[in-house]
Copies of this chain bind each other. A is one copy, B any other.
């Protein structure tokens, strides 16, 4: 099959490709050769061609977002400072050896003060705006590094990143909490953690140790500590991000369980919140970048 072009989401851990035909995805391929597993810029072209298979028959155009454009990626696509339209300009062409292969990388966005950066999320935001004309409000993009972006008149005005997802992973695996986190999930413990985290977000480092102490002093249900840890961290984030969501139109742009947790956390605060599909948004954002490229 010969696609019109290839859409590419290239993160730290994975590479996802879609064959695009007449404006729609007609196939998807994946590889685990994310930026983190590639040894230098020269390794990206082979990884792409291998993952794309017969789609890569030249001439072919690839539009890619994510860590592929980082300093340690294929080629650096310098950040676009906010306020700005996401992924509408600044695409960088990657160096290629294969004749007829043309790869364009969407730049991330940056904010000077407070210092912040994103790579990949700008494409999802652009896609969300392409799918929802004249959408003004706040987007929450759950992830390892969850982003809150204030969007107005098709521009990202400001944004804020929380290390919540990574703190959950790193503390759960490498701190003393690893002895307390049993498998499973306890919904009531998640909600209790959410409330504690939201009510006293400044006590996080103390509440974390309490999780450990509880498991020594009592015999919590399986999965209770894990769910409570998640609730504490997300609750504290929701409290801190209040200036972003209070009185705003809010959408959670994400897939899977993590997006569900943020939706529940916002519902507890009675925030009316929409859900926007992350894969659809990524594809729409890459399509918008492709259209701008060929315009």
Say if the beta carbon of A173 comes within 8 Å of chain B.
Answer: yes
Q: Which residues of B contact A212 (CB under 8 A)?
A: 117
A110/B206 in contact, CB under 8 A: no
Per assembly, the copies of the chain total: 2
Give per-residue flags for A191-207: 1 if the beta carbon is below 8 A from chain B beta carbons, else 0. 00000000011111111
**Which of B166, B203, B204, B217 interacts with A175 by CB under 8 Å?**
B166
Expressed in whole angstroms, the minimum distance between the Cβ of A79 and any Cβ of chain B is 7
Give per-residue flags for A225-236: 1 if the beta carbon is below 8 A from chain B beta carbons, else 0. 000000001001
Say if the beta carbon of A46 comes within 8 Å of chain B.
Answer: no
Interface of A is mostly: helix
A205/B116 in contact, CB under 8 A: no
**Given A117-B213, A117-B217, A213-B117: A206 touches B174 (CB 8 Å cut-off):** no
**Which of B79, B114, B204 interacts with A206 by CB under 8 Å?**
B114
A161/B213 in contact, CB under 8 A: yes
Q: How many of A's residues come within 8 Å of B, CB to CB?
A: 46
Q: Can you list 28 A-B contacts (CB < 8 A)?
A: A79-B217, A110-B216, A110-B217, A114-B207, A114-B210, A115-B218, A117-B217, A161-B206, A162-B205, A162-B209, A163-B206, A163-B208, A167-B171, A167-B175, A170-B170, A170-B171, A173-B174, A174-B174, A202-B202, A202-B236, A202-B240, A203-B240, A204-B204, A204-B236, A205-B236, A205-B237, A205-B240, A206-B241
Binding site for B on A (CB under 8 A): 71, 79, 110-112, 114-117, 145, 160-164, 166-167, 170-171, 173-176, 200-210, 212-214, 216-218, 233, 236-237, 239-241
- What 9 pairs across the A-B complex have the smallest Cβ distances? A201-B202, A115-B213, A161-B209, A115-B214, A162-B205, A202-B240, A117-B213, A170-B174, A163-B208
